[in-house]
Structure 1
């Protein structure tokens, strides 16, 4: 067998930390870490917005009748304002001087859920749809901040990083401070609401309106289903005017059609067979599938006869 060649020990060249190339990649690493940290903070804030918005929607579902309870509306309004002034304001500060579309996927779920809650509130109070301009106005804030805010946020999130990264931040901080002289001014920050996010939030509203229509029957309110039906028909006529829409909008448009179909079938049942069905059975009949309305009612009546 041929003698095995011994691999010569490779000479290791020490890395010069002061090399411009190394410093450049250190800077790239710092920028990526800062971006990922901001993304994670936005995801957590979005999750909090989603939770609080769902609680507001559950509260609004307690409203019944054509004249809603003022106390519940006021409580829901306070919850919405708390979401805006705490969680969404924090998101707006995170997005200050940033491209909002770069982080849109991080806070999109919370924004859509908030739009759903706000639009549900406006419908119950005013019987109309909230506009994109109204939503954007509520998510525009005047805050007192300085050029140090972004640096402070970065420093607080990088305490475990290496000393070299801290020195880079310190250098950037000194340059910015020398240019702005630490002037604190009131400036406008906002959570940017793209039209697509607004549309997706409104599409989610249709499910809540469907539940409102069916639930109101069990509470003796037989007018709300017909009002919701007319409103959903107007919404569908607006949605179908969209041409080449994305996959997510198409999926939610399908959900809108299903919700409208359930409400229309419920209104048909109330109008045609409402006098036949006892009031205590209306909710069970309307909650069943559209094709099961007749069979469920006949089976229940047969069971009662037995």
Structure 2
């Protein structure tokens, strides 16, 4: 998917161009929804899309990562799974079960978000935006803390455990950069 394009766009953000960069990133994200996610919704509608998850999971995780990164940069908050799934409802046929992103794909995408936020935080330090970087660090630390409570309860969590290790490394890198 073109979600990586959105992520690369967001990394261009600075104090002076924040509104412009986020507007472009949101437009690119809307294009991902219209071109890729809408197509996925239409193709999977009426099927047992849970059984087909492996075919589309990585694209969905990338989308979650891009969407949550945009939301964080705009509001400092995390885009919820419910908000993402609500946005998908309009893409499908109301007469069949709607495609919904499952909790695992959402959490895997959020785990990937931590790496992008680490890069963003270190870039902001380089540009003298230390307070913004500290806010990012606190946010990533909180996500990590919350996920450490959930991951042990997950049935198939080997992929998530790997991502948790990477997430902890991201937290440490941000903290060490301060």
Calculate the TM-score normalised by the size of structure 2. 0.91
Distance 1:128 1:143, change over 3 A: closer
- Asked whether the 8 Å contact 1:68–1:125 carries over to 2, the reply is no
1:1-306 matches, cutoff 5 A? 49=1, 52-65=2-15, 69-142=18-91, 187=95, 190-242=98-150, 243-245=152-154, 246-267=157-178
The separation in 1 between residues aligned to 2:96 and 2:11, in whole angstroms, is: 34
Ranges in structure 1 where 5+ consecutive residues have no aligned partner: 1-48, 145-185, 268-306
Aligned to 2:45, the other structure's residue is in SS state coil
Aligned to 1:215, the other structure's residue is in SS state helix
Ranges in structure 2 where 5+ consecutive residues have no aligned partner: none
- Asked whether the 8 Å contact 1:214–1:263 carries over to 2, the reply is yes
The separation in 1 between residues aligned to 2:27 and 2:64, in whole angstroms, is: 15
Structural RMSD (CA): 1.7
Q: Please give the per-residue CA displacement for 1:8-40, whole angstroms capped at 9, x wherever unaligned.
A: xxxxxxxxxxxxxxxxxxxxxxxxxxxxxxxxx
Distance 1:140 1:130, change over 3 A: same
**TM-superposed deviation, 1:219:** 1.6
Moved more, 247-256 or 75-84: 75-84
Aligned to 1:102, the other structure's residue is in SS state coil
**TM-superposed deviation, 1:224:** 1.9
Calculate the TM-score normalised by the size of structure 1. 0.54
**TM-superposed deviation, 1:142:** 4.7
| Higher RCO (CA < 8 A, seq sep 6+) | 2
**TM-superposed deviation, 1:141:** 2.5
Give the count of matched residue pairs.
175
Greater C-alpha Rg: 1
The separation in 2 between residues aligned to 1:108 and 1:192, in whole angstroms, is: 12
- Asked whether the 8 Å contact 1:89–1:141 carries over to 2, the reply is no
- Asked whether the 8 Å contact 1:142–1:187 carries over to 2, the reply is no
The separation in 1 between residues aligned to 2:51 and 2:92, in whole angstroms, is: 22
- Asked whether the 8 Å contact 1:141–1:189 carries over to 2, the reply is no
- Asked whether the 8 Å contact 1:216–1:225 carries over to 2, the reply is yes
